[in-house]
Structure 1
Amino acid sequence: MDSTRTSLDNIRKPIPLPVDRPDPLGLPADLERLRTELPVAPMIFPDGPPGWLVTRYRDVRAALADPRLGARRPHLNAHVRASLVTAGEMAVLRPSDLMASDPPDHTRLRRLVVGQFTARRIAQLAPRIQAIVDQHLDALAAGPHPADLVTAVALPVPSLVISELLGVPFADHDRYQRLTTELVSLDRTREQLLTSKAEMKEYLLGLIHAKRTRPADDLIGDLIRAQTSDPAQVTDDEIAALAQLILIAGHETTANAAAIAVLLLLRPPRLWDTVRRRPELIGPVIEETLRYATANQFGLLRIAREPLTIAGQPIATGERVVLHLPAANRDPDHFPDPDRFDPHRPSTAKHLSFGHGPHHCPGDQLARLELRTLLTTMLHRFPTLRLACDPDQLPTHRDRVVHGLARLPVDFTP
């Protein structure tokens, strides 16, 4: 009993967010311990008073839908690094968007965006997505190999899809891919971060102004038309902030999920051949990949707008709460044997990788369609695809908010 009390006393002391992974796809060991012994744990923040870390599935899911926890905060990643930008600077560089706003702003902005991601609109994109996938797989087949699947396929395919949906010229992809990488990186200096934010905003505002004189049938064009019909609906700064969020989320997260899905199918026991024979497993493979390798690797930061209680722990107004999606997606109480990749898992589709509640990602079906198209086509065209690397030694994006592989060398027999 004394040892148990000592263990509980130790974990009740605020600790920094656990971030060190034992392998490319494993979670920090401390997360499992906290989820079991203290699912709402006191946490040290890099720049301010301590807050709370929530790791259990049922608590994270309930908190995501709780209106008492606000998404509006001056710095999106203050739980990972000290804030480099003041609240005033953030308000200028990035006003309300879907990820960092609360009602009524969030309700107003979400209503403008969700219409772009209807099942009908996504279905209309299917032929173009297939063409983009075919184009890049043709290049992979014809090019030298071994090849890096990340740079050859996984990154450019969703980047091209989201740029077309938004109306961002793919000719500018080197620029916006550089900027999105800079904006999701956590190893930037204050000056570098401010420069990247200002450049992205200037680029998107310039695009908005150009589209106002030359209307186009794309998401930015639709937002401009909504603004024209009712200027109170959305400002230019908000259109730019929405475009930035969709641009980042639309290609960074899907690209990383695509590469990790291929890795999971190719590493021992090589499920690639099984899924080729049973294409009905592709959907479950996608959902299990999203659960097993959650893109948001450090959790979502929320602010208590009023007092509340999570799993018996009182949370005071103004306190910061981190909802750890990867830990929740590996909760054994909801996903038995959670550290095993299992496409046959019946509960996989209930993962929280796209969020839950009012902030549920509106682009989830687009991401699923892209992943399904890419995996289906690759399985058909590259039956001999194999890893050209040690799967346990692959470099990952340790300093980015989006979890993923820095590279994935693959080979195949022509």
Structure 2
Amino acid sequence: MEAQALADHRKSAAVAQEGFRLDAKARRLASLRESRAALRSAGLLQDGPGSEDVAGGNPEHVPVFYLDGPAHAQRRAAIARFFTPKAIQTRYRTIMEETTARLLDDLRATGSARLDRIAFELTVAVAANIVGLTETSPSQMAPRLQCLLRTAFSPATGLGKLRDRIIRSVYGVWFYHADVRPAVARRRAEPGDDIISQCLAKGYSDKAILIECMTYATAGMVTTREFIVMVAWHLFDNPELRAQFLEGDEDAQMAILLEILRLEPIASVLYRRAGEGLCDQALGEVPGGERLAIDLRAVHGDAQSVGACPHAIDAERARREGQKAEFLSFGDGPHHCPGWQVALHETRTFIDQLLRVPGIELARAPDIIWNAQLMSYELRDAQLTCSRA
């Protein structure tokens, strides 16, 4: 038990310790009780990167992630049907399975692949269907989005910042003309059951639709890519956990995925801001304008919050502690991630099939990089090899 208590299975801890920073003026929350209270409070507003850029905008044309109150509730209700278990089973599961099969067939044909690239292509295929970006293939769209998103969240300064701005402009125009505009034209003529069709029905401008596409790309593609690569890294490095995953049913596999995500949260901090002063049993007095920083790594590493041996992978942890298995990995309250179940199912589908590829090995572990703008890790250049078909 003592050895288990000292076990630390985290792969992102060192890079996070070096790069993680909180707003020095924000009040840090590090317990599950305080953090849940903040995320569920109707008196606290969404805050964080990008929120200041949308203040005062038309609520109908502001990405749902930055809204609060009734406007947020209405928009969440309008998109809820895209993320239900029924939608996953009837609409997205086929896309997940067919895209995974195609990517792994390509892997077997060549005998090698870069894990982050094929994982990103899978997430593009799924998210593009939700958004309505279906007039171009995911394999063509993914490289454009890759460059666009990489430069959008680049920490570069000076000439590097100018270079990234130019690249972002070029790829932004390319993404719009090659992927967004054809989808918009098709949806104008034949509305579908997707985000772009909803935007057109509400009179969004082309620019507003492009912003909406980019918002969903960031939330639905980038974070899930990192999750897939991190899960694969853990399972390749831990034969016992890998066997447990492959032998388990869907519920057992989901428990392992969620426990890895608890240990390695993609988002490390969530911010909330008090519009007006309030008093909360867990938070105490919160003056108007105060900023709260929810330190997810601290919450998920607190034995009082998540149970004993918080840095060890334990798929039974949540059940034993009587907690939701995701803890705060997908947030909580009104801004709880709407696509969390989609991300879990596409990760489970891909990882399950990847680990069954004959001769599959992680020939090179990923480089782990810290993104100071997003307060998140990035995993790049993981190399897969397998027996060639």
Secondary structure in structure 1 of the residue aligned to 2:292: strand
Secondary structure in structure 2 of the residue aligned to 1:404: strand
1:396 to 357, 365, 369: 369
| CA distance in structure 2 between the partners assigned to 1:117 and 1:217 by the alignment | 16
- Partner of 1:251 in structure 2? 221
Deviation (angstroms), 1:60: 1.0
Alpha-carbon contact 1:76-1:301 (below 8 Å) kept: no
- Partner of 2:3 in structure 1? none
Query: What amino acid maps onto 1:341 in structure 2?
Result: I
CA 1:143–1:96 in 2, change beyond 3 Å: closer, same or farther?
same
Alpha-carbon contact 1:294-1:353 (below 8 Å) kept: yes
1:70 to 25, 42, 45: 45
CA 1:120–1:278 in 2, change beyond 3 Å: closer, same or farther?
closer
1:143 to 107, 110, 120: 110
1:154 paired to 2:132: no
CA 1:312–1:373 in 2, change beyond 3 Å: closer, same or farther?
closer
1:165 to 104, 109, 130: 130
| CA distance in structure 2 between the partners assigned to 1:301 and 1:159 by the alignment | 27
TM-score for both structures, normalised by structure 1: 0.74
CA 1:287–1:88 in 2, change beyond 3 Å: closer, same or farther?
closer
| Count of residues in correspondence between the two structures | 359
Query: What amino acid maps onto 2:145 in structure 1?
Result: Y
- Partner of 1:296 in structure 2? 267
Alpha-carbon contact 1:183-1:197 (below 8 Å) kept: no
| CA distance in structure 2 between the partners assigned to 1:133 and 1:90 by the alignment | 42
Deviation (angstroms), 1:44: 4.5
Query: What amino acid maps onto 2:367 in structure 1?
Result: L
1:407 paired to 2:342: no
Alpha-carbon contact 1:284-1:343 (below 8 Å) kept: yes
Gaps of 5+ in 2: 1-8
Deviation (angstroms), 1:291: 1.1
1:210 to 175, 185, 199: 185
Secondary structure in structure 2 of the residue aligned to 1:349: coil
| CA distance in structure 1 between the partners assigned to 2:184 and 2:120 by the alignment | 28
Alpha-carbon contact 2:31-2:305 (below 8 Å) kept: no
1:319 to 290, 315, 319: 290
| CA distance in structure 2 between the partners assigned to 1:330 and 1:259 by the alignment | 21
CA 1:394–1:213 in 2, change beyond 3 Å: closer, same or farther?
closer
Give runs of aligned pairs for residues 141-290 of structure 1, distance below 5 A.
Answer: 141-145=108-112, 147-151=113-117, 153-168=118-133, 169=136, 170=138, 171-187=140-156, 196=168, 200=172, 203=176, 206=181, 209-211=184-186, 213-224=188-199, 226-227=201-202, 238-268=208-238, 270-280=240-250, 281-290=252-261
Alpha-carbon contact 1:31-1:327 (below 8 Å) kept: no
CA 1:133–1:188 in 2, change beyond 3 Å: closer, same or farther?
farther
Query: What amino acid maps onto 1:361 in structure 2?
Result: C
Deviation (angstroms), 1:225: 5.5
- Partner of 1:374 in structure 2? 350
Q: Write out per-residue CA displacement over residues 11-53 of structure 1, whole angstroms, 9 at most, x where no aligned residue.
A: xxxxxxxxxxx97421656999xxxxxxxxx9654xxxx2222
| CA distance in structure 2 between the partners assigned to 1:385 and 1:144 by the alignment | 9
1:26 paired to 2:13: yes
Secondary structure in structure 2 of the residue aligned to 1:322: strand
Higher RCO structure, 1 or 2 (CA under 8 Å, sep 6+): 2
1:122 paired to 2:88: yes
Deviation (angstroms), 1:271: 2.2
CA 1:23–1:374 in 2, change beyond 3 Å: closer, same or farther?
closer
Query: What amino acid maps onto 1:318 in structure 2?
Result: G
Task: Please report the RMSD computed on the Cα atoms of aligned residues, expressed in angstroms.
Answer: 3.6
CA 1:273–1:386 in 2, change beyond 3 Å: closer, same or farther?
farther
Secondary structure in structure 2 of the residue aligned to 1:271: helix
2:314 to 342, 348, 355: 342
Bigger drift between 247-256 and 164-173 goes to 164-173
Alpha-carbon contact 1:95-1:241 (below 8 Å) kept: no
- Percent identity for Structure 1 against Structure 2: 23
Gaps of 5+ in 1: 1-21, 33-41, 78-85
Bigger drift between 130-139 and 306-315 goes to 306-315
Alpha-carbon contact 2:259-2:326 (below 8 Å) kept: no
